[in-house]
Structure 1
Amino acid sequence: MRILIDARVIQDHFPGIGRYAFNLIDALAPLLDGEALVLTAKDARNTRYDLARLDRHPNVERIPIDIPIVHPRSQTALPGLLRGLRPDVMHFLYNVRPLRVSAPSLLTLYDVIPRRFPNYFSPLTRWKIEGVQRLALRASQAFLSISQATARDFATFYGVAPERITVTPLAPDPIFHPRPSAALAAFRRRQGLPDVYLLYLGSNKPHKNLPRLVRAWKAALDAGLGQEAQLVIAGHWDPRYPEAREWAMTLGLVERVQFWGPVSGEDLPWLYGAARAFIFPSLYEGFGLPALEAMASGSPVGASRAPGLSEVVGESALTFDPTDIEAMAGVMLRLMRDAGLRSHLRKAGLARAAQFTWQRTARLTLEAYRALL
């Protein structure tokens, strides 16, 4: 079987999807009974992943091309290039994909944020996104979904038949594992982090629910949480959504909330592991990979009951209604105060995270490829 994977998403502009692409290909290659042709972006900035690692697989042929993902040449020049490679199955990892191809194709589905949160986008942008999504769905013969929740959403919002969707959950990167406590303490000192902090990692887009997170932190502090504790909010910051910072200032939390911004790949597992606990209050997630990474790093987790996220954490985290500030504050207090609970959640989280592997994802993906032949 000759598989073609459009992995041009392995670049800094697509951090989440790029991680999925890289780890999937790395785990898939040893399972293939044929060849994997892997398209990568020739000149795109990539500081996260060592593509030479993929080259070390003898059945992976990496093909750098200078056709950007979002470009007319993806529809004009790319189909001819793909035809010449003569794959048996094509796998597209982003919904901007060539529409006319010469082999059966799969498309990976992540979430329906434009449908669930239309106010993120102008009417024109929504129209463009909707058109691209529908064209990509129409051009694909089968689909991979990162969660049952996402599969249900595409069935509900786009009418995709459930039998055409294979659920292939994500997994934590192998870099996420527990570290020695002394090394974590040294990391905190080196980074100027407090000895006791509750961590959130993700973007600040509205569905991430950060204004309620900050307000819940205030409620937890008012309920007697220790004066040494701080909330660390890390991850990409979109200046269009300043509400969390504004709430921190309004509530007098400037000294009790740190806004870290983006975190390097090297520091990320340490930031998870050095936290007293991790909290993820999203209103919606297609999957919720940061919660899984935190568990794999040995951090006790509190998480909202958003459907995709609930699939990830199972019963291995404290959960709460993301719209209930008091309930969220109560989870914060329990996570920060109860050492016995943290020990239990740490063990449960590590066991839960171990159930999600890229090898399993690769096996499910390979079965979906074979079903198209």
Structure 2
Amino acid sequence: MKKVLINGLLIDNKSTGIGNYGYNLVSKIGKINTDYNISALIQKDIDIKNIEVVNKKYNSSLKRILSEQLVLPKTYKDYELIHFIDYSSPILEINKPFIITIHDLSFYKYPHAFTYGSRKIKEIIAPISVKRASRIIVDSNNTKKDLVEVFDIDESKVRIVYPGRPDYEKIKDKFKIQKVKEKYNIEGDYILYLGTLEPRKNIIRLVEVYNKLVKEGITEKLVIAGKKGWLYKDIFNKVKQLALDERVIFTDYVEEKDKPLLYSGAKVFVYVSLYEGFGLPPLEAMTCSIPVVVSKKSSLPEVVGDSGIYVNSEDIDSIAKGIYSIIKNKDLREKLGFQGKERSKKFNWENTAKQVLSIYDELMG
């Protein structure tokens, strides 16, 4: 049997976008019978069943990156195909066909939203990976368009494979929802954002929108859920500046088991990101039948379709109007919740895994 190795080292115990993508993809691939012997490079404290695991342990992102660039390439000779679940393949020549998954081009489109160091690493490695890769998987048509535009590559080696929805749904048990609200110090009704705290997510403007809504009389709290990413301090400073400390709740990282409860308890989910390669959080909210307000930008319309409210992510009045329309209209909330649930069924991790395996077939026959 031909041997395939998936580099899933970005998956960790506090995974966000790419980590969650990798966990779900590797888990599903492991459950599908194939003609390949598939292994996955995984951090030691991650439990993934149904697939052969090669464990590694790194105490920092820098150590992992150095190992991926300088140490691990020596091990790739034992495999016929390597799949990197993000843009980062080795600069060293590995003399094996490989696939990369590029989730977005935010470091090119919004360079100011990254620290200097993280941006430089991406700017050095990504062009080399793109040039050498035998196939490039992207999460959306929008990312494919950006990829071809930025790198001027032949689009025939690019494959669009949408990620899947989570395997949970709306929780109706009010007692369980109340318990998770208590865990994260949330009282009463709330507007929810969930994602990494970083500039690209447009959270400062969301806080300004919320301040406007408070002045217009809304009583719902704003819950900003997710772990701190980079350049996040201005978000906290904005909350203090607007004297919203009692109304804006920061949860920090939300455990995966708590997500469906947190979504299910929200009146509306707001995701007015400046740029997305896909947009898993809105899809998670839709899976829980929660109405979403999203930017009419990048890939988000591919995810949300006609089941959400679209706003101009750079216009405070536009965002405020979108949120207000859902908060004040129960019929609209229920309608969008139902439409979102139906729309979410189009995204399935098993289909995602099968499409990725078909790309392996393209390269190995």
Gaps of 5+ in 1: none
Asked whether the equivalents of residues 187 and 274 of structure 1 are also in contact (C-alpha less than 8 Å), the reply is: no
Equivalent pairs, count: 357
Q: Which residue number corresponds to residue 15 of structure 1?
A: 16
Post-superposition CA distance 1:118-141 (Å, at most 9, x none):
224566654442111112112211
* Cα displacement (A) at 1:207: 1.3
**Matched residues in 2 for 1:80 and 1:247: separation?**
48
Q: Which residue number corresponds to residue 172 of structure 2?
A: 180
Counterpart pick for 1:117 among 103, 110, 122: 110
Gap change, CA 1:234 and 1:65, over 3 Å in 2: closer
Q: Does 1:37 align with 2:30?
A: no
**Matched residues in 2 for 1:35 and 1:323: separation?**
47
**Matched residues in 1 for 2:230 and 2:161: separation?**
33
Asked whether the equivalents of residues 278 and 299 of structure 2 are also in contact (C-alpha less than 8 Å), the reply is: yes
Post-superposition CA distance 1:82-118 (Å, at most 9, x none):
212x33x221113332342343211000111221122
The more displaced of 311-320 and 234-243 is: 234-243
Counterpart pick for 2:207 among 206, 214, 224: 214
Q: Which residue number corresponds to residue 294 of structure 1?
A: 285
**Matched residues in 2 for 1:20 and 1:123: separation?**
25
Asked whether the equivalents of residues 177 and 261 of structure 2 are also in contact (C-alpha less than 8 Å), the reply is: no
Counterpart pick for 1:161 among 132, 154, 157: 154
**Matched residues in 2 for 1:239 and 1:82: separation?**
32
RMSD: 2.2
**Matched residues in 2 for 1:290 and 1:42: separation?**
24
**Matched residues in 1 for 2:342 and 2:82: separation?**
34
Q: Which residue number corresponds to residue 65 of structure 2?
A: 70
Asked whether the equivalents of residues 142 and 165 of structure 1 are also in contact (C-alpha less than 8 Å), the reply is: yes
* Cα displacement (A) at 1:365: 0.9
Pairs within 5 Å for 1:1-373 = 1-12=2-13, 14-41=15-42, 43=44, 46=45, 49-51=46-48, 54=49, 57=50, 60-65=51-56, 69-71=64-66, 73-84=67-78, 86-87=79-80, 89-98=81-90, 99-121=92-114, 126-174=119-167, 176-187=168-179, 190-191=182-183, 192-225=185-218, 227=219, 229-238=220-229, 240-373=231-364
TM-score computed with the length of structure 1 as normaliser: 0.88
Which residue identity is paired with 2:215? D
**Matched residues in 2 for 1:128 and 1:2: separation?**
29
Asked whether the equivalents of residues 7 and 38 of structure 1 are also in contact (C-alpha less than 8 Å), the reply is: no
SS of 2:283 mapped into structure 1: helix
Which residue identity is paired with 1:81? T
SS of 2:10 mapped into structure 1: coil
The more displaced of 215-224 and 145-154 is: 215-224
**Matched residues in 2 for 1:6 and 1:168: separation?**
18
Post-superposition CA distance 1:306-349 (Å, at most 9, x none):
22112111111111010111111111111211110111011111
**Matched residues in 2 for 1:78 and 1:224: separation?**
57
Asked whether the equivalents of residues 184 and 273 of structure 1 are also in contact (C-alpha less than 8 Å), the reply is: no
TM-score computed with the length of structure 2 as normaliser: 0.90
SS of 2:83 mapped into structure 1: strand
Post-superposition CA distance 1:192-220 (Å, at most 9, x none):
42221000111221111112111111222
**Matched residues in 1 for 2:333 and 2:151: separation?**
41
Asked whether the equivalents of residues 279 and 300 of structure 2 are also in contact (C-alpha less than 8 Å), the reply is: yes
* Cα displacement (A) at 1:42: 5.1
What's the % identity of the aligned pairs? Answer: 27
Gap change, CA 1:122 and 1:360, over 3 Å in 2: closer
Gaps of 5+ in 2: none
**Matched residues in 2 for 1:315 and 1:251: separation?**
34
The more displaced of 243-252 and 127-136 is: 243-252
Post-superposition CA distance 1:218-268 (Å, at most 9, x none):
22222232x3x1111111124733233233223232222112221112212
